[in-house]
Structure 1
Amino acid sequence: MRLIISEKANTAKKIAGFLAEGEVREGKYRSIPHHTFEWRGDECVSVGLKGHVLTLEFPEEYSNWQKVEPAELIDAEVRKTVTEKGVAQAIKSLAKKADEVIIATDYDREGELIGVDALSLAFEANPKLMDHVKRARFSALTRGEVTRAFDELAEVSRELAAAGEARQDIDLIWGATLTRWVSRATRRYGSSFLSVGRVQSPTLVLIAERELERRRFRPEPYWEVEAGLRAGEVFTARHAAGRFKEKDRAEAALKNLAATARVVEVRERSSKRQPPTPFSTTAFLAAAANIGVSPSRAARIAEDLYMDGYISYPRTDNTVYPESLDLREVLGNLTRVEGVGEYAGRLLKAKRLSPTRGKRQTTDHPPIYPTGSALRKALRDDQWKIYELVVRRFLATLSGPAETKRTTVKLESGGEPLSAGGTVVVEPGFLAVYPYGRKPDEELPRLSEGQELEVVESRLLDKETQPPGRYGQGRLIQLMEDLGLGTKATRPAIIQNLYDRGYVHGDPLVPTETGMAVAKALKDYASEIATHEMTARLEKSMDDISEGKVSKDSVVDDSREILRRVYKHLEGSKEAFAGIVWSGIREDQVLGPCPQCGKNLVIRRNRKSGKRFAGCEGYPECRVTFSLPPRGDIIPLGRRCEACGAPEIKVIGGRRPWITCINLDCPKRQERKDGKREEAGEPSGPSKRRDLERSTTSKSG
């Protein structure tokens, strides 16, 4: 009997359906489903795991954060223990009857490690299987791709699994050691602990450094002169000098403008915008972020779509379609997809398909492309949004360039030079199917040299220079790849962890004062983990493991040595480190000025009930308090409510963040409540308010 082990239950079922030469018999080992069928005359059983069946952890004696010195974790033994006992028992039971094992997990470091871990359980039950192991490598859960993979069975890559295992070891040792040290130094335990990580921390430092640039930035005023000109329709021209640094010079230019403007020169220039390259994971996550889907959510949705057979494997660095990919077959599937079917049909009629090519070409997986046609009603809205993005990107890579025409006009009025410009798309090319980021046309009226135009209005614009922008999630994903921080599989989770720990909020990412303080303390006292260079070197070492150039143990040992140096620096600066971090924590507890006395409102907790509230630092002289939401992290926004003047906060927790002022009697809040009650047919007004939700001016404990 051949035992086929895949990563998830629905993958196991699909593989059985694709390979079966006859019926598939459904069975269960306790609660774990498996599928029995005939393939090439042999009986096969296909079973799915639940991702990692083993987990890495320290022995039980190291579990007490407060009693165990974090330094002990650096050289502590790490063990693998079973996380999914039911799955592990099912693998062992089925392995006892097997003559051969075929690993069919995802083909990357993590997938190879998951497969090798499952093999260790199978060997434990049936050692004879050690000499009868094969590997099925596929990039899409489609009949053709899975059948090809099983026709071309390969060997399991122990080196690739070792690279994944090295990452697990290093991340556990570094994360546990430094997180515990910081928690002990700052006395933050339980759910309020402050995490530190080999990749997370330099990523946080990148965000914090950009925020420091913004805070150091000093805006400089400048002025612009604009004129509205009529040529049948009114369009805007600007002074050719652009920005005036001196207001009196700008005012003089404005004053000089006459009642008319003369066209001095009209110039037209055509250009082409090339279609995008195929989707790598990083490019996909960045594009998803640009349409409002966070990288972590986009990664989860893409994984679901892959498992359902709609898109290819979503973790890839490749940006060149392999010659083996039948582009016309893919197009044929897409002719049935809502919104793009007709466009796909036109591409299908072309004599020759010439896809774009990116700079990176790998042999493990193709770029992300659609593998099946989906019905819109069969997917959730967010799934359709991502599926459509992948479909349209694929079609764009097979399309022609977009052609634009840029018109530039030079004018003169009262001796002052003016200019105007407009760009229109004359041939949409790939933009017809991939409109993401397409700017609206800016068309100028038809003008000719020497033409006189009426100046219908003129104005002086007061402006100032702007600080560098914060990183959006899409830009941060790209920057992490450029700097070698994390992998295509781990970057979304790393960014999400920064949100979960309360280090950042919003998109673009805004660091909290706690996040800023942790970044500063790490830069000052643990510079190795605060910069990307060390992490990038370790990432390169893991690549070397997968290629068989170095051993896993040597890389892990090297990382331990680096960690010892980091820890030594930290131990000599515990009080200073904690002082920096606590200064940030305290700043995050200040919500804004008290409306009665002007002193700070800070987050406090009732000694008896444990409920949090906002209380004035002027207590007991000032007894103003406000109730606060019982759950979720509270982020001060540094601004006041327009309706009542109370500080506004962002509450992170639950399904999505929400913004509110802390005054539960705010007229704006009451209007929203009443509006919702009226829609529901309920009575409105203060009679429905709970006493707990009321702002008081008495002591809250």
Structure 2
Amino acid sequence: MISYPRTSSQKLSVELGLDEVIRKLAENPSYSVLARKLIESKKFAPSQGKKDDPAHPAIFPTGEKPGALRTVESKLYDLVVKRFLACFADSLVKESLSVILRLGKENYLANGSTVLKKGWLEFFGGYASIKETLLPDYKDGQVLRVKGPELIEKETQPPKRFTAASTVRELEKKGLGTKATRSQILETLFNRGYLTGSKSIQVTELGLSVYRTLHSYCDEIASVKLTREIEAEVEQISEGKADPDKVVEHGRKDLDKILRKFKESEEKIGKNLLSALKETRREQNKLGECKCGGDLILRKSRFGLFVGCNNYPDCKQTYPLPKNALIQSLDQVCEKCGTPIVKVIRKGRRPFVMCLDPQCLTKANWGNKKEARPPKE
């Protein structure tokens, strides 16, 4: 249905038969109107970005009509198709207006803009929007009456936390990893307990400790510059621009120097990381507050993982958990019963969220697969 997705290219070659792809999409009722506009105006030359990938072009639909898709798959395919068609559309035309208002000796600036021709924006549908700000029809030299001053108090906002997507973009910006490994790097950081959070990412105590310890005792091992140089040399090998033997020898010398330095401080590094590891595990095992006021934590028995209260044996509250699953706290409680909600991650299946209490009303129909399923993330 679509081309190879793991690519950073922004190029679409005419050799891909782009006109034929558009004609095939015109046969799909969902895209026939947009595709026929391009066919009628003979627009088969796409607008392209600067990034190129020798191995793969930008993602594009093949034109083959997809079969039955799940909701999330259908939305993704729809985005790929509309983004593809938008590349062939006319430019968006926007009119901007700037007005300088003079009050006494001070100048105040007001900016406005409006879309005159939607162009490619029409093809994107609900996936893109342009903010319009309409200003009154001012005339040069016009005199306005000032109603009165207004003093607004604001505070500087902190930068937004990183998300998975913005982290991958930052890795690309810094030249770290490749398009095939950046997502895996992020997944490894989560799996090792260095990062936490589902939407906005937070660094765990263990992650901070690893960072601080390595910079204190062996700064080179965490060097962005060194990692970037290694990545660049590997890329040059794949492009036939560097001698593999020389690159390997250069890397061996660097690593030998780093590892000897690491070995000298191995015991100190281990002690620093051990306490952070214990604290991180304690936080990861905490799933929420028990009704007795204690903490509900992950516990292990010969039958597998379950949830129990840390006030045991004074409090004997327990909850069962799905087998062979990774359980993550969401720092949320159920609206129906007030019990903590967790995310359940199982290999080969979509994650879902659930209330820990098996008697909760949110699980009333869980036994009937046709009537209800666990809520998806």
TM-score bracket, normalised by the shorter chain, equals 0.7 to 0.9
Instruction: Give the secondary-structure state (helix, strand or coil) at the position aligned to 1:433.
Output: helix
Q: What is the match of residue 11 of structure 2?
A: 320
**C-alpha deviation, 1:658, in angstroms:** 2.9
Q: TM-score under structure 1 normalisation?
A: 0.43
Deviations 1:9-48 (A, max 9, x none): xxxxxxxxxxxxxxxxxxxxxxxxxxxxxxxxxxxxxxxx
Report the counterpart of residue 375 of structure 2 in structure 1.
Answer: none
1:543 equivalent to 2:235? Answer: yes
Aligned to 2:158: 467
| Matches of 1:628 and 1:461, distance apart in 2 | 51
Q: Secondary structure at the match of 1:404?
A: strand
Cα displacement (A) at 1:607 = 7.0
Provide the residue aligned with 2:25 in structure 1. 334
Q: For the Cα contact (< 8 Å) 1:406–1:421, is it kept in 2? A: yes
- The alignment's TM-score, normalised by the length of structure 2, stands at 0.73
Q: Distance in 2 between matches of 1:348 and 1:523?
A: 58
1:429 Cα offset (Å): 0.7
Q: Does 1:399 align with 2:89?
A: yes
Instruction: Tell whether 2:216 aligns with 1:524.
Output: yes
The residue type paired with residue 520 of structure 1 is R
Distance 1:580 1:615, change over 3 A: farther
Residues 226-245 of structure 1 aligned to structure 2 (within 5 Å): none
State the alpha-carbon separation in 2 of the partners of residues 407 and 323 from structure 1. Answer: 39
1:373 to 2:68 alignment: no
Task: Give, as a single letter, the amino acid of the residue that structure 1 aligns with 2:274.
Answer: W
Spell out the pairing of 1:11-160 with structure 2 (5 A cutoff): none
Residue 337 of structure 1: SS of its match in structure 2? coil
User: For the residues of structure 2 that align with 1:679 and 1:659, how far apart are their CA atoms?
Assistant: 16
Partner of 1:555: 247
Measure, in 1, the Cα distance between the counterparts of 2:36 and 2:321: 55
Q: CA deviation at 1:433?
A: 0.7
TM alignment of 1:541-690, pairs within 5 A: 541-588=233-280, 589-590=282-283, 591=286, 601=295, 603=297, 605=299, 611-616=305-310, 623-624=314-315, 626-627=317-318, 630=321, 632-635=325-328, 641=333, 648=340, 650-654=342-346, 655-656=350-351, 658=353, 664=357, 670-674=360-364
1:679/1:642 Cα in 2 relative to 1: closer, same or farther (>3 Å)? closer
**Greater Cα radius of gyration, structure 1 or 2:** 1
Deviations 1:505-544 (A, max 9, x none): 3133233333333333333334333233222222222233
Q: Give the Cα separation in 2 of the matches to 1:579 and 1:338.
A: 64
Residues 402 and 425, structure 1, Cα contact 8 Å, conserved in 2: yes
Cα distance in structure 1, aligned partners of 2:368 and 2:354? 22
Q: For the structure 1 residues 646 and 352, does the alpha-carbon distance in structure 2 shift closer, same or farther, using more than 3 Å as the test?
A: closer
* Matched residue type, 1:577: I
Q: Partners in 2 of 1:576 and 1:537 — Cα distance?
A: 29
Give the Å deviation of 1:398.
1.4
Q: Does the Cα contact within 8 Å between 2:337 and 2:360 map onto a contact in 1? A: no
Report the CA distance between 1:432 and its aligned residue. 0.5
Give the whole-Å Cα distance in 1 for the aligned partners of 2:337 and 2:273. Answer: 30
* Change over 3 Å in CA distance of 1:467–1:625 after alignment to 2: farther
> Given the alignment of the two structures, is residue 390 of structure 1 paired with residue 80 of structure 2, yes or no?
yes
Shift of 1:610: 6.4
5+ residue gaps in structure 2? Answer: 373-377
Alpha-carbon offset, residue 497 of structure 1: 2.9
CA distance in 2, matches of 1:545, 1:332: 40
- Listed one character per residue, the Cα deviations across residues 156-180 of structure 1 (whole Å, up to 9, x for unaligned) are xxxxxxxxxxxxxxxxxxxxxxxxx
Q: CA RMSD in A?
A: 4.5
Contact 2:217 2:262 in 1 (8 A): yes
Distance 2:191 2:111 in 1: 46
Q: 1:412 to 1:634 in 2, by over 3 A?
A: farther
1:495 aligns with 2:189: no
Using the TM superposition, give the Cα deviation of residue 487 of structure 1 relative to its aligned residue in structure 2, in angstroms: 1.6
Q: What is the Cα deviation at residue 445 of structure 1? A: 6.8
Q: Does 1:346 align with 2:37?
A: yes
Tell me how far apart the structure 1 counterparts of residues 365 and 110 of structure 2 sit (CA, whole Å): 48
Deviations 1:230-287 (A, max 9, x none): xxxxxxxxxxxxxxxxxxxxxxxxxxxxxxxxxxxxxxxxxxxxxxxxxxxxxxxxxx
The CA deviation at 1:469 is 1.4
- Residues of 2 paired with 1:644 and 1:461: CA distance? 41
1:642-690 per-position Cα deviation (integer Å, ceiling 9, x unaligned): 9799895644522315375x7x49xxx83434587899999xxxxxxxx
Measured against aligned partners, the alpha-carbon deviations of 1:621-658 in whole angstroms (never above 9, x if no partner) come to x8346435546445556x67497998956445223153
Give identity over the alignment, percent: 29
2:71 and 2:306 map into 1 onto residues whose CA distance is: 37
For the residues of structure 1 that align with 2:236 and 2:299, how far apart are their CA atoms? 52
Structure 2 counterpart of 1:543, which letter? E
Pick from 47, 51, 63 the counterpart of residue 360 of structure 1. Answer: 51
Which residue in 2 is equivalent to 1:212? Answer: none
Gaps of 5+ in 1: 1-309, 683-701
Give 3-state SS (helix, strand or coil) of 1:534's partner.
helix
Aligned to 1:164: none
Task: Report the Cα offset of residue 571 of structure 1.
Answer: 2.6
Q: CA deviation at 1:327?
A: 3.2
Alignment CA distance shift 1:675-1:329 (3 Å) = closer
Give how far 1:428 is off: 0.8
Question: Structure 1: which amino acid aligns with 2:169?
Answer: Q
Query: Post-superposition shift, 1:431?
Result: 0.5
SS of structure 2 residue aligned to 1:484 = coil
- Of 123, 126, 129, which residue of structure 2 is paired with 1:433? 123
Given the superposition, is the C-alpha separation of residues 353 and 453 from structure 1 closer, same or farther in structure 2, using an over 3 Å criterion? farther
CA spacing shift, 1:427–1:644, aligned 2, 3 Å: closer
How far did residue 356 of structure 1 move? 1.8
**CA contact 2:101–2:107 (8 Å) conserved in 1:** yes
For the residue of structure 2 that corresponds to 1:332, the secondary structure is: helix
Residues matched between the structures, number: 358
Q: Give the deviation of 1:476 after TM superposition.
A: 2.1
SS in 1 for 2:258: helix
1:520–1:580: 8 Å Cα contact kept in structure 2? no
Please give the alpha-carbon distance, in whole angstroms, between the structure 2 residues aligned to 1:608 and 1:330: 57
- Aligned in 2, Cα 1:337/1:607: closer, same or farther, shift over 3 Å? closer
Q: Greater strand share, 1 or 2? A: 1
Change (3 A) 1:597 1:325: closer
* Conserved 8 A contact 1:334-1:341: yes
CA deviations 1:264-314 (Å, max 9, x no partner) are xxxxxxxxxxxxxxxxxxxxxxxxxxxxxxxxxxxxxxxxxxxxxx33333
Q: Name the CA distance, whole Å, in 1 between partners of 2:8 and 2:369.
A: 50
- Which secondary structure does the structure 1 equivalent of 2:4 belong to? coil
Query: Is the contact made by 2:60 and 2:81 (CA closer than 8 Å) also made in structure 1?
Result: yes
User: Retained in 2: the 8 A contact 1:514–1:584?
Assistant: yes
Aligned-partner residue type, residue 656 of structure 1: P
Alignment of 1:534 onto 2:226: yes
Q: Secondary structure at the match of 1:469?
A: coil
